[in-house]
Structure 1
């Protein structure tokens, strides 16, 4: 199945690209510049495309992103430290982001005669991001079936939607994903900070998967305290 992967350059989407390249016909990668805090992850998406020998398109959505304000990913709002699943991480929500990106990706797929679009949403995203949940994936497919009726048939693939970040690490390792060539940190410094929600989630996922984490963190051990504090709060 000729498939286009929505690739941010993060661990999840790069692992998905390697999975698709191994199991299907990877046509190319589509990334989005929506005015996020840093473009560093897009560089890693470009590296992934070169490594896998496929096209890479970066869609300029900065004009749209300028209207999707109020998120720590787009505005000058502090990225808080702590566990990814905490309520405080809602500050990283960009309204309707996946719906907008997928609508464009489906248009690209139809134009390029691809049969599928793949996205790396996973179970750990469900608490914070409504457009990462199974209900959204199913509804979006139904909408696109109508939008492209008679013109193209494009399937939405979300193989991780009911899995965990640790499951993605396991799958990525199975398909020889070079994890060091992915970027997760929200802060976009020279090294992963090791303290923001996505760094904590990344470090915890490698631990749970039993896979060596090659990531260079400024704070190697913060994730332990952050995870313990979150678990204690859940028990209360």
Structure 2
């Protein structure tokens, strides 16, 4: 049985300023933590929501919890490990080596967890409707489009249309994806604008003491800071591998 062992956020009405009360899906990574800081600055951050889906390590969830504490909002982690165990074949959930390289490489398809975002968003929308939130925010971005179909604009539009039908007459919840057409470098620039503490985010799929610098998300992270012209405070085991990966992928 899937455990949804979470308490509800206290219901909060829309603010007088018209800002949206927003639940941010936060993994603890650079993208979602930057999004949390953006929402806190520009709208009303209702809380952060994370998922334990049986990923290779849960280290990132500690960073999500720390972000919530820093921003002074509730943090909830939903346990869907039983669902994750059924979504076999991914290097993020199974005993499969995490591939090194750039997301543009074919090998990165090993990091796909089928329907992961669709499942998480469906749960988040149900919670948002029950708790009178106006929006659910997620940090999907253009760099994800190579291999993750549930990060693409077409999916975002289709999911919103589906939820409009699913919640018709009960609630109106907006799917907020401000980065969907942008790059990870754009997120770094936006995160810096909102004083995101990048050193207090975790991206690496391998979950070691430091970022490995070689897996797809480490390569993308390192490249993004370079393209953004923003200092990268991250400590990597292999800080220069990203150059080799980018050249190999031809991006």
State TM-score, norm by structure 1.
0.97
- Cross-structure match for 2:135: 116
In the aligned structure 1, how far is the partner of 2:224 from the partner of 2:236?
A: 14
Cα RMSD (Å): 0.7
In the aligned structure 2, how far is the partner of 1:123 from the partner of 1:136?
A: 13
- Which ranges in structure 1 are unaligned for 5 or more consecutive residues? none
Q: Which runs of 4+ in 1 moved over 3 A?
A: none
Alignment partner for residue 36 of structure 2, among 4, 14, 17? 17
The answer to whether structure 1 residue 167 and structure 2 residue 166 are counterparts is no
Deviates more, 1:219-228 or 1:28-37: 219-228
In the aligned structure 2, how far is the partner of 1:197 from the partner of 1:114?
A: 34
How far is the alpha carbon of 1:230 from its aligned partner? 1.4
In the aligned structure 1, how far is the partner of 2:201 from the partner of 2:73?
A: 17
- Cross-structure match for 2:5: none
- Cross-structure match for 1:199: 218
Alignment partner for residue 50 of structure 1, among 51, 66, 69? 69
Q: Would you say how many aligned residue pairs link Structure 1 and Structure 2? A: 232
- Cross-structure match for 1:101: 120
3-state DSSP of counterpart to 2:242: helix
CA contact (8 A) 2:103 2:146 kept: no
In the aligned structure 2, how far is the partner of 1:95 from the partner of 1:193?
A: 24
Deviates more, 1:76-85 or 1:183-192: 76-85
- Cross-structure match for 1:133: 152
In the aligned structure 2, how far is the partner of 1:126 from the partner of 1:82?
A: 16
- Which ranges in structure 2 are unaligned for 5 or more consecutive residues? 1-19
How far is the alpha carbon of 1:228 from its aligned partner? 1.4
1:91-118, Cα deviation, whole Å (9 max, x unpaired) = 0000000000000000111111000000
Show the 5 A alignment for 1:1-236. 1-231=20-250
1:20-64, Cα deviation, whole Å (9 max, x unpaired) = 000000000110000000000000000000000001110000011
Q: Which has the higher helix share?
A: 1
In the aligned structure 2, how far is the partner of 1:52 from the partner of 1:152?
A: 27
